[in-house]
Amino acid sequence: MQNTVEIRHVTHAYKTPAGPLPVLNDLSLAIPTGAFCAVVGPSGCGKSTLTRLIAGLMKPDRGEVFLHGEPVRGPRSTVGMAFQNPVLLEWRSILDNVILPLEIVAPRMARRDREARARELLALVGLEGFEAKRPSELSGGMRQRASLCRAIVHKPEVLILDEPFGALDAFTREDLWQTMHALRREEPFTTLLITHDLRESIFLADEVIVLSGRPATAQYRMDVPGGTGRTLDDLYTPEAADRLNLLRHQIQIAQGRHEAAA
Ligand SMILES: Nc1ncnc2c1ncn2[C@@H]1O[C@H](COP(=O)(O)OP(=O)(O)OP(=O)(O)O)[C@@H](O)[C@H]1O
């Protein structure tokens, strides 16, 4: 299978007034086309740094990042991103917020076609009828749904999700997990999810990678079967409990190293 994302032996340190802060150490990982990869790890270990490298917002000190086999040399408009805070533009309607990436990536696309594409996605995530609303008129969960639509409206090469469900209440979060599966069934995309929620990682991802403490490397990998056919009930099986225990144990190991290195 072809890899959409490949990180090869990436090492990076931030320059700080106190000297270099090593964040990533010889990190390698690959996300096959169409796969969903979750990255978990101790707070501050370098997860968001990884997303910036893939999006081309930063260059690593050593190693290379590839998208579809091409080295990433600068910012890529073909990467879709969604964060914990949806950052929707208040002066635009929900529909116009979702359309925004198409204005940048496909400026010649007819307004009619852009709208149709955005409406189709909004309907898929249950926001039909809210197209004309302003972001502040929607709940946090609804805003995050709109933000997910905006992140995939231009069919990005890779979707990067940096804790997009972290600020939501437990029920809304589980709703959105199911929405993610529904979206993936309709439009298979390649995803990297950063999360602190181990249940979320095994519900959504095909592979979970545990990063070690800073400077981070890939400490542990787990394949999770089931794909988008999983239901919330699958989180309450003995197999799921075993997986969660294993991951929790790995995070504890990572935190131990992390604390020792801090
Ligand atoms: N621009 C920067 N300059 C200097 N240090 C930075 C910069 N960005 C991040 N850092 C530091 O690098 C380390 C890794 O940051 P990063 O945001 O990648 O971690 P993270 O794993 O995403 O954290 P969290 O889980 O808390 O969101 C942290 O110690 C952070 O303070």
**Are both 163 and 246 inside the same structural domain?**
yes
Closest atom of ligand 1 relative to the 41 alpha carbon: 21
Closest atom of ligand 1 relative to the 16 alpha carbon: 4
**pLDDT for the residue numbered 166:** 85
Q: pTM, whole model, 2 decimals?
A: 0.92
Q: Which of 7, 42, 33, 35 is nearest to 198 (CA)?
A: 42
Residue 82 falls within a domain, yes or no? no
**Are both 163 and 136 inside the same structural domain?**
no
Ligand 1 center to 238 CA (angstroms)? 35
Last residue of a domain, one of 103, 136, 156: 156
**Are both 230 and 209 inside the same structural domain?**
yes
DSSP state of 72: P
Name the domain count of the chain: 2
Q: Is the ipTM of this complex over 0.90?
A: yes
Q: Is the peptide bond before 215 cis (omega within 30 degrees of 0)?
A: yes
Residue 177 falls within a domain, yes or no? no
**Are both 137 and 148 inside the same structural domain?**
yes
Q: What's the Cα-to-Cα distance from 210 to each of 10, 54, 234, rounded to whole Å?
A: 16, 18, 21
In the sheet with 191-194, reading across from the earlier edge strand, the strands are 79-83, 158-162, 191-194, 36-40, 207-211, 218-223
With beta carbons less than 8 A apart as the criterion, state whether 176 and 168 touch. yes
Q: Please give the residue range of the domain that contains residue 9.
A: 1-76+157-167+187-262
**pLDDT for the residue numbered 255:** 87
With beta carbons less than 8 A apart as the criterion, state whether 74 and 67 touch. no
**Are both 108 and 71 inside the same structural domain?**
no
The answer for residues whose C-beta is within 8 angstroms of residue 39's C-beta and 6 or more apart is: 47, 50, 192, 193, 194, 195, 208, 209, 211
Q: Which residues of the chain have pLDDT under 70?
A: 1, 257-262
Residue 173 falls within a domain, yes or no? no
**Are both 162 and 50 inside the same structural domain?**
yes
Ligand 1 center to 39 CA (angstroms)? 15
**Are both 104 and 140 inside the same structural domain?**
yes
The answer for residues whose C-beta is within 8 angstroms of residue 97's C-beta and 6 or more apart is: 88, 89, 135, 146, 150
Cβ 251 under 6 angstroms from ligand 1: no
Ligand 1 center to 164 CA (angstroms)? 17
Closest atom of ligand 1 relative to the 51 alpha carbon: 18
Residue 174 falls within a domain, yes or no? no
Cβ 261 under 6 angstroms from ligand 1: no
**Are both 3 and 72 inside the same structural domain?**
yes
DSSP-derived secondary structure for 95-132: HHHHHHHHHHH-TTS-HHHHHHHHHHHHHHTT-TT-TT
Last residue of a domain, one of 117, 136, 156: 156
234-243: Cβ within 8 A, 24+ apart: 234/203, 235/199, 235/202, 235/203, 240/202, 243/202
Cβ 14 under 6 angstroms from ligand 1: yes
With beta carbons less than 8 A apart as the criterion, state whether 202 and 244 touch. yes
